[in-house]
Amino acid sequence: MIGRIIKVISNDYTVLVDDKKYICKPRGVFRNQNITPLAGDIVEINEDNIITKIFDRKNKLDRPPVSNIDMAIIVMSTTKPDFSNILLDKMLTIIEYNNIKPVICISKSDLLIDDKINESIAYYRKIGYKVLFNTEIDELKEIIKDKFVILTGQTGSGKSSLLNKLDLNLNLKTDEISLALGRGKHTTRAIEFYQIDNSFVADTPGFSSLTFNNMTKEDIKNNFIEFRKYNCKYSDCMHIKEDECALKEDLNNNLILKDRYDDYVSFIKEKENENISFNTKKNR
């Protein structure tokens, strides 16, 4: 039988075949081959509820560990936890790189009083991203129709709350913000896709940091979507130190959001430092 993994808890994999769920274990050979089944995988299972084959993935994310995703809704809080441009830009870059459609969803909009956040929202819309508030439930339901979707973002940003709004019957656990740490407490321990009409949506464990695994500096540049239109003097221009850079001209004219450009520069430096660290270890 061929189905799709819709829930992962430890070494138990819930596989949906047609409309029936099977709790399965993976073949032992997968461990020897260093292969881990992921939520979202299309798999073959036998009569003993053993996963015998994992079909090729169209995409894969490491954090959260999921595959074959059509859309990622990035939930960003206006406060508690504070809105983070740098985390949002990092998630957008990684999601774009993995050929997943990103949508930005702003939670706690009733507490939105920061003009800089409004400026950021306007800019992301201008460059082509869909930005919605978590109160726009009908529109959210429309854009996720017939898709496999993940909700991702900071811990405590309101992912579980949003899922509860998308399906009033779920009643998933939510938790308060840690006042001492200024961020949310983890309430999602597993990855599970919930069926909402004809869509499947997963609430995923929150996180506050990410790395650019398997990405180059050029990958980072190419997945800042508004950077793609620039033809600079040098074909390999990284838009940082080079002269006659068309992008920096627009930056100076306030046509590019400075916070986002600063995030880009910090990501390139992060990747350079990562490479230096790797080469140092390699040469020891």
Instruction: Provide the CATH number for the domain around residue 12.
Output: 2.40.50.140
If asked whether residues 47 and 72 sit together in one domain, one would say no
CA distance 162 to 196: 12
Average pLDDT over residues 251-256: 95
- How do residues 129-183 score in pLDDT, each as one tens digit? 999 999 999 999 999 999 999 998 888 888 888 998 998 888 766 554 443 434 4
Contacts of 237 by beta carbon, 8 Å cutoff, 6+ apart: 230, 245, 247
CA distance 155 to 165: 18
Contact 90, 263 (CB under 8 A): yes
Q: Is 212 part of a structural domain of the chain?
A: no
Helix (H) or strand (E) holding 250: helix 246-252
Residues of the domain holding 118: 61-203
SS3 (DSSP) at 202: strand
pLDDT at 238 over 90: yes
Residue 260 tokens, joined: 């986002």
Number of domains, the chain: 3
